[in-house]
Amino acid sequence: MDDRQTKRFVNRELSWLEFNQRVLDEACDTNTPLLERLKFLAITDSNLDEFFMVRVGGLQILAEQGATKTDPTGMTPAEQLVAIHERASRMTADQYACFMDDIEPALAEHGIQRLRPDDMSERQSKAAAQVFLSDIYPILSPIATTSADDFPRLVNHTLNVCTRLAPVDGESEPRFAVIPFGVSARRFVTLYADGGYAYTLLEDAVDMFADRFFPGEVVEECVPFRITRNADIAVRDDTASDLLADMRDLLDARKRSDCVRLQIAEEASDETLAFLQETLEVVDEDVHRLPGPLALSDFMKLTDLNGFDALKREPWPPQPPPEINPSMSMFDVISQRDVLLCHPYDSFDPVVRLIEEAAGDPDVLAIKQTLYRTSRNSPIVRALARAAQLGKYVTVIVELKARFDEARNIEWARHLEQADVQVIYGVKGLKTHAKMCLIVRREPHGVRRYLHIGTGNYNEATARIYSDICLMTCDDELGADATTFFNAITGYSQPKRYRKLAAAPTGLRDRLLEMIEAETKRKQQGQKAHIVAKVNSLVDPKIINALYAASQAGVTVKLNIRGICCLRPGVSGLSENIEAVSIIDRFLEHARIFYFYHGGDERVFISSADWMPRSLDRRVELLTPVEDIACQRRLIMILDTYFRDTRRARKLLPDGGYQAAQYEGEGVSSQEVLYREACEAVKAAKQSHPTMFEPHRALK
């Protein structure tokens, strides 16, 4: 590959690791409340777990197969694994330095203290013994093991303890037993404290009383460890005769897949480590010795402790959107004008209310909806089931291949089928990632179609922590497009040309390239040209090259990319007119918003799709124009706000690294600005509608 070509792109995996570093930077920021810092640290560990399961697992398979095909940066799978190992090792060291040297001592100062066995008072030791005998010893079971043949099947990402027992008379080899903690084990053992919260970890409690599991034996070592299994396993649903059964097989296969990472306490002996490596078939490069507690992601639980509000952020409850009158039907609200909501600043309740009203409305004839990820007790799923039971025609596309939510989606699919909902398990060969609900309603002037189209999932829980956009409209042409869209998914028909929507994999990338190239041509003709995009990830080479061409023509390009960005901004002669920033803050940035100046006839879109090959080629996604002027203005304002951020924005550098903004005073936090504006909008609406006093009148 041409060396000039490789310098056009940043490696996808290394860019993701830089994203996780930005999350870790938030954990290290002493200006952030302490328990919020712990939350960010837990997130980085959870992120790494998924990265190793999926990305590293997939690369290991390719490397083992001898694959030499390079990525756009010219790296083979084996070369990428080497680079990942080096970068991930540095990140892990930074994680534990942050926890052990900074966050944990600070927690102890504020009364949240982890106690090792040697730190406990006599009273605390007795309490630990009591908890062990009542809650731990009766539940956990040691499993003797000598080789891979009798090694227990360990659950992915659960904690275990490997005990090494002294050799018996006449033998020289140590004996080993594994104590699996399982998925429901309580990691934090609460201990007596004069004030605050004192705890010890489950593995330390087991270590203290390990001899109870092995009476008459000498326990020489008790070491916590944890494995990561390869989750880059897929179902060939284009050939699957029963997708539901095959997805169940996939979930079972993940429980038995190869170990791609072994995490073990740093103090583990060479004997114990060698035994685990041999039985789990793990090479040295995939062993991670950790200098502190394993599974830092578990420490998320401590961030919910009661009585420590001073160590948390001020809560930002979602605001009721002022344009939605709670006394009016959602259908009346949407029929008057398009409604744009920006979650979690705007409450998700109107979305739930729309679907619940549709379920009980006798004039609603049909509801069609996509479901990618939902909450455990989803009110939306309940409403869809109720609608079907009331005789409405309800069709739901449940994506069974939503990674790590497969089991929940299988459960919801069965529940909906039992309620007589027509359930479609996605599209063969593709993931249905589009977010749309179509409601068909009989009205005095004929049938009208109401739409909800969003960038986020139909999940009222994550809608409080993810930043997303949704549009509610009864636009006739979008309604016609929605009907075409659902017919194409649920039937065998080829999708017709949409009037306003664009959908992947058939035309979304083409629409984007067309819009980018139109800005390029206008600039070449001496006109003003401007592109602004907010996505989670930018990987697609065709879009990147189109943006490079736009930059070279002089188009101003501003990119807000939370995670992976394979584009190199600010490179002379290539991308000097491109600026890219990433924002990590209290809410997960998840919305996709696109703006094109378009000769002054501004075009604004929202989308479910990131700019990645998987989104544009292997998923069913939607790109939706927002044409209502008020909604357009708000989206443009939101984009502008992100580029004014000086507190949480990180600027992407040409080498793939990131640089924090320099600012004086308080600086600007885009998320705080958006939340305060939502609060002000509610306040202004109340002031414009003063309370009316209505007297009680005498009964006639």
pLDDT at 416: 86
CB 573: neighbour CB atoms within 10 A? 8
Residue 140 has pLDDT above 90, yes or no: yes
Mean pLDDT, to the nearest integer, of 439-460?
96
> What is the DSSP track for 582-606?
EE-SSSEE---EEEE-GGGS-EEEE
The sheet with strand 219-229 has its strands ordered as 143-145, 175-180, 159-165, 219-229, 259-265, 287-290
Residue 454's nearest CA partner among 561, 373, 546 is: 373
What is the Cα–Cα distance from 555 to 394, expressed in whole angstroms? 46
- pLDDT for 254-269, tens place per residue? 344 588 999 999 999 9
The CA distances from residue 39 to 101, 296, 312, 562, in Å, are 16, 10, 10, 18
When pLDDT is cut at 50, 70 and 90, the band that residue 696 belongs to is low
Terminal Cα distance for the chain, rounded: 91
Instruction: Give the mean pLDDT of 523-550.
Output: 98
In the structure encoding, which two tokens stand for residue 369, read together? 């909806």
Mean pLDDT (the chain) is 91
Its sign, for the CA torsion 17, 23, 27, 28, is positive
Q: What tens digit of pLDDT does each residue of 296-319 get?
A: 999 999 999 999 999 999 999 999
Q: Note the pLDDT of residue 355.
A: 97
State the pLDDT confidence band at 244, using cuts at 50, 70 and 90.
Answer: very low
Task: Please report the domains of the chain, with CATH numbers, ordered by start residue.
Answer: 10-108 (1.20.58.310), 110-282 (3.30.1840.10), 330-498 (3.30.870.10), 503-679 (3.30.870.10)
Distance CA 358, CA 388 (A): 11
Sorted by sequence, the CB contacts under 8 Å of residue 9 that are 6+ apart come out as 72, 73, 541, 544, 566, 567, 568
Query: At 249, which amino acid appears?
Result: D
Is residue 700 pLDDT above 80, yes or no?
no
Q: Which of 202-216, 481-495, 670-684 has the lowest mean pLDDT?
A: 481-495
Return the residue matching tokens 């993810």: 466
Cα–Cα distance, 532 to 610 (Å, whole number)? 14
Q: Where do we find the tokens 């309603």?
A: 441
Closest alpha carbon to 181 in 157, 197, 145: 157
Distance CA 295, CA 108 (A): 20
Q: Which of 170-179, 531-540, 677-686 has the lowest mean pLDDT?
A: 170-179
- Burial class of 567 by CB neighbour count within 10 A (0 to 12, 13 to 18, 19+): buried
Tokens of 214: 């092995």
- Distance in angstroms (rounded) separating the CA atoms of residues 657 and 13: 13
DSSP symbol at 73: T
**Looking at 343, 433, 452, 590, which residue is catalytic?**
433
CA 478 to chain centre: 29
Q: How confident is the model at residue 663 (pLDDT cuts 50, 70, 90)?
A: confident
Q: What is the pLDDT of residue 403?
A: 55
Q: What is the mean pLDDT of residues 659-682?
A: 92
| Average pLDDT estimate for 604-620 | 96
Q: Say whether 452 is catalytic.
A: no
Q: Which helix (H) or strand (E) holds 616?
A: helix 613-617
Helix (H) or strand (E) holding 200: strand 197-201
User: Which pLDDT does position 249 carry in this prediction?
Assistant: 47
Residue 402 scores a pLDDT above 90: no
What are the tokens at 516? 């980018």
1 — pLDDT class (breaks 50, 70, 90): very low
- What tokens does 390 get? 């009331």
pLDDT per position as a tens digit, 624-636: 999 999 999 999 9
pLDDT given at position 251 = 40
pLDDT above 60 for 6: no
The whole-number pLDDT of residue 678 equals 97
Residue whose pair of structure tokens reads 């989670």 in the numeric block? 536
Could you give the angle at the alpha carbon of 276 between the alpha carbons of 145 and 185, nearest 5°?
Answer: 75
Mean pLDDT, residues 404-431 taken together: 78
Inform me whether the pLDDT recorded for 106 exceeds 90: yes
Q: Residue 58: its pLDDT value, please?
A: 87
pLDDT tier at 376, thresholds 50, 70, 90: confident
